[in-house]
């Protein structure tokens, strides 16, 4: 559980990166560049978190121990995607 923080932080970075990228599509001017840089930075942070997680748990073959952990992270992600898609229309 000690290194699960890297795993959860990685997924949160991906989610926030998607939100920023979606909102940056509506922006104009310099805010588009700021949104792109922030989104790419969070994606890089997610990759770094994954690498650190695998470094400290090299023998772990699965990411989640049970389906409840997967659902806790996937369901909010799906809800946010649906809300953002509905806001675009």
How many CA atoms does the CB half-sphere of 12 hold within 13 Å?
7
Q: How many domains does the chain have?
A: 1
Q: How far separated are the first and last CA of the chain, in Å rounded?
A: 41
**Boundaries of domain holding 31:** 4-88
Secondary structure, 3-state, 2-67: CCHHHHHHHHHHHHHHHHHHHHHCCCCCHHHHHHHHHHHHHHHHHHHHHHHHHHHCCCCCCCCCCH
pLDDT in tens, the chain (89 residues): 567 777 788 888 888 888 887 777 777 878 778 887 888 888 888 888 877 777 777 676 566 667 777 777 777 777 776 776 676 54
pLDDT of 88 reads 58
pLDDT of 62 reads 63
- In angstroms, what CA-CA distances link 85 with 1, 3, 22, 71? 34, 33, 9, 21
The answer to whether residues 43 and 17 touch, using CB atoms and an 8 Å cutoff, is yes
pLDDT of 29 reads 78
- Predicted TM-score (pTM) of the model is 0.58
């Amino acid at each position: 559980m000690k290194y699960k923080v890297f795993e959860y932080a990685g997924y949160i970075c991906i989610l926030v990166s998607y939100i920023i990228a979606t909102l940056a599509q509506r922006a104009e001017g310099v805010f588009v560049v700021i949104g792109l840089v922030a989104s790419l930075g969070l994606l890089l942070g997610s990759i770094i978190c994954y690498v650190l997680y695998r470094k400290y748990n090299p023998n772990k073959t699965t990411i989640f121990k049970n389906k409840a952990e997967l659902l806790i992270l996937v369901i909010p992600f799906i809800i946010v995607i649906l809300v953002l898609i509905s806001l675009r229309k």
